[in-house]
Amino acid sequence: MRELLNNRLTFFLFVSICAMFLSACNDTAPAANGKSVKLVLGAYTTPREAYGKAVIPAFQKFWKEKTGQDVEFQESYQASGAQSRAIASGFEADIAALSFEGDIDKIAEAGLITHDWKANANRGIVSTSIVVFAVRPGNPKQIRDWTDLTKAGINVLTPDPKTSGGAQWNVNAMYGAALRGFAGVPKGDTNAAAGFLKDVFRNVTILDKGGRESITNFEKGVGDVAITYENEVLVGRQAGQKYDYVIPRSTILIENPVALVDKYADKHGVREVAEAFVQFLSSKEAQRAYAKYGLRPLDAEVAKEVQAQYPPVEDLWEIDFLGGWKKVEADIYGAQGAYTKVFAELYNAK
């Protein structure tokens, strides 16, 4: 009898240990064995609708049909710079979708992105837009180009470059347009371009933390003009907002990157599905989803399909004109940068 009891006890212990082991395996490797998997997306605020309403549902359908596995997304949206710092500081996003490459680079510099995230045909870029002006219906202040933002009595909205990637695109656009001779100052004159920045920012009374907050304030009736992404305006109009927008003669091509965050994706056991999501963003289906919510697609065929939705730009240029992001960080936002000096002179003096 004692031997029988011992055998039964040994059997129950064996079963319990196996159950504990299988449970642990399921907790650490949901992507490999489970019927569902969760991805954590850390993104900037501007494309919230594009991801939440179109891109993510399209990928969930794609992955379910391909593997039979359901994908749940945990989505976080905030200003690009703030999101970058959050991920670098411990917010365990499997995928970072940010406003510009410098914010992705900060995550890589923290040791969390270990692969070459720019090693594809589009250098990690998944969508584009341009810097434009949101104006009141009928454009009552007759704002047509960059020089109009310097007029006395014009209340300009733009977010804070310290927290917002969109704000940096805005500043880059106005500084670059000035250097290119489209802002009423001598072409190629860096001092004059910095002076133009100062003239615009004299009319900026509020620096919101992000692009979405800035356009939301504009929608509430604050300001005469908001410097913003084209897609912010288009999404707002889709939601019933009553405003127009103006494309300045010279503006910058906004390029938005996405990268898998290696350390967190591996920790969560979701690398396979996370990599598939990043790759999916270049598909025609995803590119059409971006275009539906105001982002200019990278795919040439999709761009041709929707070209009527996106007016041409007289002088459209890329960040390379300013020397790339590393040079921009020093020349515009560094300790002696053009914007840094303007901010000190206008705001620190108050």
CATH class of the domain at 13-17+27-126+256-303: alpha beta
Q: How many CB atoms lie within 10 A of CB 316?
A: 13
Residues 6+ apart with CB under 8 A from 107: 84, 87, 88, 96, 113, 259, 261
Taking alpha carbons only, the member of 107, 102, 123 closest to residue 42 is: 107
Model pTM score: 0.85
Which pLDDT tens digit goes with each residue over 314-331? Answer: 999 999 999 999 999 999
Q: Is 127-254+311-348 CATH 1.10.150.20? A: no
pLDDT of residue 18: 37
pLDDT of residue 164: 83
Residues 205-232, mean pLDDT to the nearest whole number:
91
Measured CA to CA, the distance from residue 153 to residue 143 in angstroms comes to: 12
More confident: 17 or 66:
66
Which pLDDT tens digit goes with each residue over 163-184? Answer: 888 899 999 999 999 999 999 9
Model confidence at 63: pLDDT above 80 = yes
Average pLDDT score over the chain: 89
> Cα 291 to chain center, whole Å?
15
Which pLDDT tens digit goes with each residue over 29-46? Answer: 444 446 899 999 999 988
Confidence of residue 349 (pLDDT cuts 50, 70, 90): low
Positions of CATH 3.40.190.10 in the chain: 13-17+27-126+256-303, 127-254+311-348
pLDDT of residue 350: 54
Model confidence at 253: pLDDT above 70 = yes
Least confident of 18-27, 53-62, 137-146: 18-27
pLDDT of residue 10: 41
Which pLDDT tens digit goes with each residue over 101-142? Answer: 999 999 999 999 999 999 987 999 999 999 999 999 999 999
